[in-house]
Chain A
Amino acid sequence: MRPASEEELSGMVRAARGPLVVRGGGTRSVGRPVAGEMLETGDLSGIRLYEPGALTLVAGAGTALAEVEAALAAEGQRLPFEPMDMRALLGIEGVPTVGGMVSANASGPRRVQAGACRDSLIGVRFVDGTGTIVKNGGRVMKNVTGYDLVKLMAGAWGTLGVLSECSFKLLPVPEAQASLRSAAMAPQEAVAMMSRALGTPYEVNGAARDAEGRVALRIEGFDAQVRYRLAALEEALGGDWERVEGAASAELWQGIRDVTAFAGHAGDVWRISVRPSDAPEIVARADCPVVMDWGGGLLWACCDPGRDLRADLGAFRGHATLIRGSEATRAALPAFQPEPAPVAALSAGLRAKFDPRGVLNPGLMG
């Protein structure tokens, strides 16, 4: 099924007799595999409103992300949160959509400064599991009118409603960017270095440790500003740093964002969200290749296929999600971190209210 309008989408959900596999571009296949009829949102597309002077954009959920990014680039603006493109990592072809990005709350390296996808998402329209059309938020960046269902829909993986339209707050693309890169460092040393960098006033908006152990720090801004800040940062941190400028810097961060280090390599990939200072301990427990982003707050681990990495990590302050694994592994292990009973009850309660018949990606999140 491929609805061409929100009304059609509403009718299709209402008429559904069994599970629906809700899909944007199909480029973020995460979670327990769902068997059911395909519901594709690709025709709910088009940029509905773009006001560069107000830093806001509204687009149909099925709009290709590339289309949005091209429109923004033409005005020197961008989505602040640097959404990850999962295609290379997952080995999938397809066209990433706005709705898929929101449903995954896809957020890249700039999350440390500019926030996650959910922080830039200012409005949604969606169809819940009963076929009802709901709107929440709007097209203004400061809005506390009623409950914030916008946040709830970001990262809900299409299990509470099928997104039909999303609104975003935007930011200007800075004039320049450049990065510092170190020689390989041990996790402990790397996290300490990244924390120090993120604690300076130079607005470091990328802090990562690549698969080879090299720490990279990014600064963006006006040309002179970037030069000044890079020098000031280098002096504050001490040690030897390689400067990576312009296009090479952009390429470096795209690699971190998309975790290209693990693309095309065998193994399951887990995404671990952790308190940065706990990261070295988690890396030790994982005992496998790891890429660190968000100053150590986000770990990408590539481990032997089928391994229950979450079990091996034991209790820690954060959560682990299985991002890449065979269908068998994804069916056997919960992709999302199991929740404590009272929180699980709230999640189940929300699902029961928004999708009482259990037709929207049932079981995907556990």
Chain B
Amino acid sequence: MDMPAANPATLAKRDRVLARLAEVLPEQALIRDEAERRAYECDALTAYTCLPMAVVLPGTTAEVAAVLRICHEERVPIVPRGAGTSLAGGSLATEDAIILGVARMRDVLEVDHADRIIRVQTGITNLAVTGEVESDGFFYAPDPSSQLACAIAGNIAMNSGGAHCLKYGVTTNNLLGVTLVQMDGTVIELGGAHMDAAGYDLLGLVCGSEGQLGVVTEATLRILPKPEGARPVLMGFDSSEVAGACVSDIIKAGVLPVAIEFMDRPCIRACEDFAKAGYPDCEALLIVEVEGSQDEIDEQLGLITQIARRHNPVELRESQSEEESKRIWLGRKSAFGAMGSINDYMCLDGTIPVSSLPFVLRRIGEMSQEFGLDVANVFHAGDGNMHPLILFDANKPGDLELCEAFGAEILKLCVEAGGCLTGEHGVGIEKRDLMSVQFAPEDLEAQMRIKDVFDPHWLLNPAKVFPLEASATRRAA
């Protein structure tokens, strides 16, 4: 993965720029020291590192605006950063860039149960948002698996999803308003606590723009009343095709589960070894969860198990207790940890039409043999968002490159099947150069025109999302 070379003219300005930043920021909010900057040299895509020119951690929207105004005048690139949990390298710096982190901005500004909203500074973690409203019977729906650590800022930048999107949608469906600081320091409000945008849907445009259109410092989020209860059922099948057909039949039957999770044999085995969740040894496993009162859950699970029986499951286990529900989820929730304990792995997140599931899984199996690297599949089956985990050995020369090449082939396969490169992680640097597989030059041009409007000098997170050659002239201008 290439990153553009640092601009010597920008590096030469370092002392002057830092001196100017020191005038608008408190002492502790400006990190110059190399050892301290190290902490920001990568995000969760740890294979790539780069030491930024400096790191700033403003405490207010006004400080963010002051920093951006200076960097705009000085033409210094900015890499916005939430909690640094991006799996796509979304907050990877270049040597001539300044990282702007929102980690010090974590206040809850307003909670309103009547209007069902919470307004926060965006450095707050995803789980802390739910934590703030939980005791009053509410929750914030998007639940990326990094929710303990990831910040709302990054959730908005990447339009993060989670396991419960089938029912509740992703970040963009739960975001009502933002305070956005533009690169020139202008502060604007988009949306608010009302339910739709005035004029163009700029809020929808900002969400998922990977920090390239502005820095979101505050957000108004929709909170929802917690369901009365939830309960999963676990089903094992002797082929992925059958499991896929079962998912399709459940959806067609009019039941809307809150989550449908899928695991294949390699993943089931690794999770079982790691977490001892009591999973059956089979080709494909589904965890289907429904919500409601006890009676409602009984009725829905009754319907679901009836459908599942038609597909001859090798195992069908309806949770009978809180304890058993936890055990059913335990394996799934430890999937990534389980994989990490036996191997290095790369996690992809292409989405495919649910109907292409059997074909795509079969092809991934064949490609796994061709590349000589194992793959475990765990994903959100209801919405077709796959998470193939390619296992490799980081200490073996050439293995990372082989793994990346394999990953690229899987993502191309997702696009060919009618899907897309990324369902919830974002493009970042990881999938940047594959964008041309999914989009024609005119499609990319249309997107880059949006950035031209919001950030004419291409200073915000410039080396991300678009293939470097496609954005070259704009970044150089």
Task: Give A residues with C-beta under 8 Å from B.
Answer: 51-56, 75-76, 105, 107, 111-112, 115-116, 118-119, 128, 132-136, 138-152, 154-156, 160, 171-175, 192, 195, 198-201, 221-222, 224-225, 228, 232, 273-277, 294, 297-298, 317-319, 321, 336-337, 339-340, 342-343, 346-347, 349-350, 352-354, 365
Contact = CB atoms under 8 A, between A and B. Distances in A.
B331 to A, nearest CB: 23
Given A149-B447, A346-B202, A105 B380 contact: no
Interface in B28-85: none
Interface stretch (B246-254, B263-271, B340-348, B390-398): B246-254
A117 B253 CA distance: 24
Contacts of A115: 169, 173
Contacts of B209: 147-148
Contact of B443 (A135, A155, A337): A135
9 contacts: A51-B355, A76-B252, A132-B446, A133-B442, A142-B165, A151-B172, A155-B201, A340-B188, A346-B454
A114 B292 CA distance: 17
B172 A172 contact: no
B365 interface: no
Interface string B179-201: 00010001011101111111111
A337 B252 contact: no
A173 to B, nearest CB: 7
Given A144-B424, A273-B194, A297-B195, A353 B453 contact: yes
Contact of A53 (B158, B249, B351): B249
A228 B204 contact: no
Contacts of B173: 115, 119
B161 interface: yes
Contacts of B445: 132
Contact of B201 (A52, A132, A152, A317): A152
A311 B96 CA distance: 49
B14 to A, nearest CB: 30
A156 B254 contact: no
Contacts of A317: 192-194
B115 interface: yes
B225 A145 contact: no
Contacts of B372: none
Contacts of B285: none
Contact of A119 (B169, B256, B353): B169
A201 B228 contact: yes
B258 to A, nearest CB: 12
Interface string B417-443: 011111111110001000100111011
A192 B207 contact: no
What are the 3 A-B residue pairs with the smallest beta carbon separation, nearest first? A151-B204, A53-B248, A319-B198
Contact of A152 (B113, B204, B299, B438): B204
Given A140-B423, A172-B256, A274-B194, A201 B227 contact: yes
A343 B115 CA distance: 25
A221 B249 CA distance: 18
Contact of A146 (B170, B227, B465): B465
Interface string B325-359: 00000000000000000000000000111110000
B469 to A, nearest CB: 16
A135 B461 CA distance: 24
B383 interface: yes
Contacts of B226: 201
Contacts of B454: 346, 349
B225 to A, nearest CB: 5
B422 to A, nearest CB: 5
Given A119-B169, A201-B225, A140 B419 contact: yes
Contacts of A232: 293
Contacts of A352: 453
B114 A276 contact: yes
Contacts of A145: 420-422, 427, 431, 435, 438
A144 B295 CA distance: 37
A282 B283 CA distance: 59
Contacts of B204: 118, 148, 150-152, 154
Given A147-B208, A147-B450, A224-B299, A53 B251 contact: yes
Nearest to A160: B200
B225 A200 contact: yes
A206 B414 CA distance: 38
A140 B352 contact: yes
B205 to A, nearest CB: 5
B126 interface: no
A292 to B, nearest CB: 13
A174 B199 contact: no
A77 to B, nearest CB: 8
B452 interface: yes
A107 B197 CA distance: 12
Contacts of A347: 199-200, 202
